[in-house]
């Protein structure tokens, strides 16, 4: 039995992966914890400054250890920080591979410009609304109600929560991606206005064992939009990575 840990993004919860449930193979056991940056936990997390440690705790909580970690959106940032941090100390995470889904990434500090802040803030409620709409499935939500739900979620995240995300994004040029030697699959989507597919391609290029898959026509939530495609890509990657070296999630 292969064990897969799924890490959700900012303001979401373990339920963000539910649409993929019917498509996982019987030999794959899925773990979908609610992380500290979930909608329910943000009140206490938003002053957190070491989210990488929270990812490490989630890894350690998988019985016997994870065979694969899949991290979406903001969730990919503390995972990358953990991998970089451990690589710098020579204590690689005992993990066969990771999948980074619609991640945020820039190669150099000069790639961040002042005029990017306002559009990123504007896109945040739009992204929240997209996630809410997709999770509602066949039950349509009136546009006014959807906008109100997204606005309330943004208010719940608040300025501190958003700044935790932006600070993690700003740190990506400082991450030692060149030292992260484990197999990494980066999944992007060519219609993602929040985390552009170009950043997925760039991250995959900067990881020594990185590869990239781009969902044509997809947005920021491929596991909700195309769950069959998404799980198929993850299954294929899981079958190609080496077996876990030890029963522990981390050394």
pTM score, two decimals?
Answer: 0.94
Task: For Cα atoms 154, 194, 215, give the angle at the middle one, nearest 5 degrees.
Answer: 130
Neighbours of 176 (CB within 10 A): 14
Task: Decide if 173 contacts 108 (C-beta within 8 A).
Answer: yes
pLDDT of residue 250: 42
**HSE on the CB side for 27, CA within 13 Å?**
6
| Cα–chain center distance at 76 | 4
User: What value does the mean pLDDT take over residues 90-118?
Assistant: 94
- What lies within 8 Å, CB to CB, of 112 at 6+ separation is 106, 170
Q: Please, which pLDDT band fits residue 92 given cuts at 50, 70 and 90?
A: confident
**CATH homologous superfamily for the domain 2-240:** Alpha/Beta hydrolase fold, catalytic domain (3.40.50.1820)
pLDDT in tens, 130-164: 999 998 876 889 999 999 999 998 998 999 999 99
Greater model confidence, 247 or 114: 114
pLDDT tens digit sequence for 48-85? 889 999 999 999 999 999 999 999 999 999 999 999 99
pLDDT recorded at residue 251: 42
- For the record, the structure tokens of 65 come out as 């250890």
Q: Which of 24, 71, 70 lies closest to 228, judged by CA?
A: 24
Average pLDDT over the chain reads: 93
- pLDDT class of 214 with cuts at 50, 70, 90: very high
Task: Give 49 or 6, the one with higher predicted confidence.
Answer: 6
Q: Long-range contacts of range 129-133, CB-CB < 8 Å, 24 or more positions apart?
A: 130/219, 130/220, 130/221, 131/11, 131/12, 131/16, 131/220, 131/221, 131/224
């Amino acid at each position: 039995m292969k064990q897969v840990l799924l890490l959700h993004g900012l303001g979401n919860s373990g339920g963000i992966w539910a649409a993929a449930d019917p498509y996982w193979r019987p030999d794959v056991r899925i773990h979908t914890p609610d992380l500290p940056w979930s909608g329910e936990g943000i009140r206490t997390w938003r002053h957190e400054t070491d989210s990488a440690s929270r990812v490490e705790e989630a890894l350690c909580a998988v019985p016997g250890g994870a065979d694969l970690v899949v991290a979406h959106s903001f969730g990919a940032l503390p995972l990358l920080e953990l991998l970089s941090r451990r690589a710098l100390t020579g204590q690689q995470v005992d993990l066969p591979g990771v999948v980074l889904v619609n991640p945020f990434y820039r190669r150099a500090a000069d790639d961040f410009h002042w005029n990017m802040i306002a559009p990123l803030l504007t896109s945040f409620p739009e992204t929240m609304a997209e996630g809410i709409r997709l999770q509602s499935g066949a039950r349509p939500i009136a546009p006014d109600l959807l906008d109100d739900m997204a606005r309330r979620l943004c208010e719940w995240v608040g300025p501190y929560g958003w700044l935790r995300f932006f600070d993690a994004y700003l740190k990506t040029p400082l991450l030692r991606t060149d030292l992260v030697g484990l197999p990494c699959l980066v999944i992007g989507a060519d219609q993602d206005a929040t985390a552009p597919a170009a950043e997925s391609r760039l991250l995959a290029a900067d990881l020594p064992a990185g590869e990239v898959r781009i969902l044509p026509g997809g947005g920021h939530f491929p596991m909700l939009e195309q769950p069959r495609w998404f799980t198929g890509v993850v299954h294929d990657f899981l079958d190609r990575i080496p077996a876990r070296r030890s029963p522990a999630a981390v050394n």
